[in-house]
Amino acid sequence: MTRLDTPLGDTEERLGQIIAFLPDPTMVVDRSGTIIAWNRAMEDLTGRSADEMVGQGDHAYALPFYGERRPVLVDVAMGAAPEAEQQYEALSRHGETVTAEVTLPGFRPGGAILWCKAAPLRDSQGRIVGAIESIRDVTEPRRARQRLQQSETEKRTILDAALEHVILQDRAMRIVWANTSAAESAGMSRDDLIGRHCYEIWGRRSDACPGCPVLPAIETDRPHECEQTTPDGRVWYLRGYPIKGPDGAVTGAVEMTREITGQKRREQALADSEARYRSLTDDVLDSSAVGIFILDAGFKVVWVNRSLERYFGLRREEIIGQDKRTLIRERIKHTFENPDRFADKVLATYDDNTYIENFLCHVLPSGDREDRWLEHWSQPIRSGLYAGGRIEHYTDVTDRVRAEENLKTFKDALENSTDAIGISTPQGVHYYQNETFTRMFGDIGNDPPSTIYVDHKVGREVFDAITSGQEWSGEVEMNGKDGNALSILLRAYPVKREGRTIAVVGVHTDITARKRAEAALAEKADELARSNADLQEFAYVASHDLQEPLRMVSSYVQLLEKRYADALDGEAREFIGYAAGGAKRMQTLINDLLQYSRVGTRGKPFAPTDCEALLEEVLSNLEVAITEAGARVTHDPLPRIMADEAQLARVFQNLVGNALKYCDGPPEIHVSAERRGGQWAFRVRDNGIGIDPDQRERIFVVFRRLHRQNEYSGTGVGLAISKRIVERHGGRIRVESEPGAGSTFIFTIPDRKDPSDGNEHDAEDEES
């Protein structure tokens, strides 16, 4: 303790003791600036002892702090060094007490900030006798506060720099603080925003926006978020965070708002783009008739369309994302007619994904999968998302393949035709010949078709006719393969497309053999004509030369009988009678034979013949015989037909005559006609003796009689002549009969058209 030489007396003593106890470093100086007290805390702060310092004057107290003698705050408090105020910060006065802070960079390593408080000391008269100064080391608190302030500044700067609007609101949603973005967005100064509500500024409304996240954040003490569209069309993303006070109670909220209009637009654009893409795949590619595989660079299936699903009998859910190579080996290849060929061809494209592959494959039917021909066409994908991958198209070419098969069938038919078929261009380049052609003419290469003609000129004429658009058919001579001339029936015609001749087709039928046969036939016909002439000659002989000697025999036998009857006995007369009878009979035979032979040679052209009138005439000729036999002859209406009237009359006469002849009671004869299948069937029915079934064919043979001469007269040529006549008319004759049950002779005559009157038959046809 230091004794003062001042009027403080024992006061000074007590003061010294008090100062010594003060926790803060404290010193006291007298009016002259001499240190009179330097307490222990000051000793600790400065490292200078009271013994060393007390009694020193001339600003010695500044030495530990500044390293030099200078006025300090005690001087300021005594009013002795106003200029010293400059070195202090935050200097303030409360009455005579001055407080200030000072930063002393050299006081300690790193410097120090000291808080100082000084006040003058006065004597009882109020005179300043000295001053007291307390010092507190506030280096750490001050530094901490500075750091805090720095951090605060940084945070505000960050918030201000944020693009989002940051708005701090109290529990009543009044704006407490807002960042620059918010102020700029509102178009107001930051200060103007304070105390207002965000809903009135941005939402232009008087209460919280629906869905506002701030209100629930305050109420629930949890963050909330939402999207809002403001009346100006902008879209916002809002988040509200509760802010708590020191007691943990929610004091307000911070609202972070980000405009997402652009993002929304991009999202919309993305959605649109996706929709377009989806439409492209779902509506366009999916509806394509071409089956499509899209593979990525790893040959995994990216996508297939519906046609492909249908063609392959696959479902895209099952295969998308799968390795196509595995799929081919395990599933796909078995879809095809030739699985290994398919697998080899397609897998090779993955091993060397650089080229276009194109081949035909045949899908076998199974379940929902149809029998189908597909054309595989694939190529590498060179750019974009799936660059390095591959796209495969499968086009349904079933119709084309079937058409080709049909074409092949036609070609086979062409190949197998018994006609030789050759095709050439309109310029005369022969390019197709079938097998028959080769067999017939050999391989003529591309030579013009005219070269196979025996006469090339004819060939060129035919060819010119066809190329000018006409058809040509006729017989020509052509050179066969072996150099022999062939008779060819040629039909040649142009094949046109849109009026233009595109090919020339020749169909050649070898008629050499037919011609030979025709020649043979002609020879036969000549022979027949000669034989016919012979027959005519015979007919003449029969009519003249045979009758001549016969007449001699007959005449002289009769003359003998006439002139010498009286001289002859009964036996001689009997003999002469036989001779005369025989001669007469022979003459009848000759006449009948003559008539028989003349049916063919003496026939007249067919003319319209009224059968009913004809029959009436025949019946009137037979009137005597009818009367003698006591017969009744009836008939149905008979038609008008084309016939040789005289010959037809003869048929009626023979048949009715036979019916009159071969009877054992009064004959009942009925004639009728019926049209059937383009023919008239005439029937002559009787109730006569009938004909044994065994004899039915025999009766139509010339001179074949069924009865002895003394039973029924006749030479047996009538039916043979009738048969020849009917056959000459193109009809048939037959008999239906039972012995004792009568006979019906049926003969047919084709219903020929009367060339002079075409309408009659038409009308008849309409009626029937």
Partner 1 sequence: MGTNTMLKTKSLEPSLARPAEILLVEDSPGDVRLMQEALKEGKVANRVHVVGDGVEAMAFLRRQGDFADVPRPDLILLDLNLPKKDGREVLAELKADDDLRRIPVVVLTTSRAEEDILKAYDLHANCYMTKPVDLGQFLNLVKEIEEYWLLMVRLPQE
- State the minimum distance, in angstroms, from the CB of residue 724 to partner 1: 18
Judged by CB under 8 A, which of 155, 551, 604, 676 binds partner 1?
551
Judged by CB under 8 A, which of 407, 520, 552, 613 binds partner 1?
552
How far is CA 565 from its chain centroid?
A: 117
How many residues line the site for partner 1 (CB under 8 A)? 22
- Dihedral in degrees, nearest 10, Cα atoms 198, 203, 209, 213: -50
- State the minimum distance, in angstroms, from the CB of residue 541 to partner 1: 10
544 lines the binding site for partner 1 (CB under 8 A): yes
Task: Give the C-alpha separation, 372 to 362, whole Å.
Answer: 6
Judged by CB under 8 A, which of 548, 566, 623, 766 binds partner 1?
548
Task: Give the C-alpha separation, 555 to 549, whole Å.
Answer: 10
- Paired residues of 744 in beta bridges: 685, 736
Judged by CB under 8 A, which of 584, 632, 753, 761 binds partner 1?
584
559 lines the binding site for partner 1 (CB under 8 A): yes
556 lines the binding site for partner 1 (CB under 8 A): yes
Task: Please report, as a single letter, which amino acid is at residue 552.
Answer: M
Residues 6+ apart with CB under 8 A from 452: 441, 444, 459, 478, 479
543 lines the binding site for partner 1 (CB under 8 A): yes
3-state SS, one letter per residue, for 136-174:
EECHHHHHHHHHHHHHHHHHHHHHHHCCCEEEEEECCCE
434 lines the binding site for partner 1 (CB under 8 A): no
Q: Quick one: which segment of 106-114, 220-228, 581-589, 752-760 binds partner 1 (CB under 8 A)?
A: 581-589
Residue whose tokens read 């004899």: 695
Nearest residue (CB) to partner 1, 277 versus 540: 540
Judged by CB under 8 A, which of 583, 660, 671, 746 binds partner 1?
583
Nearest residue (CB) to partner 1, 479 versus 597: 597
537 lines the binding site for partner 1 (CB under 8 A): no
Nearest residue (CB) to partner 1, 402 versus 584: 584
Residues 6+ apart with CB under 8 A from 286: 305, 306, 307
Nearest residue (CB) to partner 1, 467 versus 591: 591
Judged by CB under 8 A, which of 395, 554, 609, 737 binds partner 1?
554
- State the minimum distance, in angstroms, from the CB of residue 544 to partner 1: 4
Structure tokens at 593: 């034979």
Judged by CB under 8 A, which of 355, 540, 575, 703 binds partner 1?
540
Nearest residue (CB) to partner 1, 410 versus 556: 556
- State the minimum distance, in angstroms, from the CB of residue 547 to partner 1: 4
Of 588-617, which residues contact partner 1 (CB under 8 A)? 591, 594, 602
Decide if 452 contacts 459 (C-beta within 8 A).
yes
Nearest residue (CB) to partner 1, 520 versus 529: 529
DSSP assignment of 461-515: HHHHHHHTT--EEEEEEEE-TTS-EEEEEEEEEEEEETTEEEEEEEEEEE-HHHH
Q: Are strands 632-635 and 668-676 parallel, antiparallel or unpaired?
A: parallel
Q: How many helices (H) and strands (E) does the chain have?
A: 26, 28
Q: Quick one: which segment of 266-274, 331-339, 582-590, 662-670 binds partner 1 (CB under 8 A)?
A: 582-590
Q: Quick one: which segment of 41-49, 267-275, 330-338, 544-552 binds partner 1 (CB under 8 A)?
A: 544-552
- State the minimum distance, in angstroms, from the CB of residue 720 to partner 1: 20
- Dihedral in degrees, nearest 10, Cα atoms 724, 727, 731, 735: 40
Nearest residue (CB) to partner 1, 563 versus 708: 563
547 lines the binding site for partner 1 (CB under 8 A): yes
Judged by CB under 8 A, which of 353, 467, 587, 621 binds partner 1?
587
5-to-314, 473, 564, 628, 639 alpha-carbon distances in Å: 119, 168, 244, 218, 192
Judged by CB under 8 A, which of 470, 555, 709, 713 binds partner 1?
555
Nearest residue (CB) to partner 1, 148 versus 559: 559
Q: Going edge to edge, which strands form the sheet with 112-122?
A: 35-38, 26-30, 128-137, 112-122, 97-104, 89-94
Per-residue DSSP letter, 711? T
Q: Quick one: which segment of 120-128, 239-247, 538-546, 629-637 binds partner 1 (CB under 8 A)?
A: 538-546
Residue whose tokens read 């929610």: 250
In what helix (H) or strand (E) does residue 116 lie, and over which residues does it extend? strand 112-122
At residue 283, the 3 state secondary structure works out as helix
244 lines the binding site for partner 1 (CB under 8 A): no
Residues that bind partner 1 (CB under 8 A): 539-540, 543-545, 547-548, 550-552, 554-556, 558-559, 562, 583-584, 587, 591, 594, 602
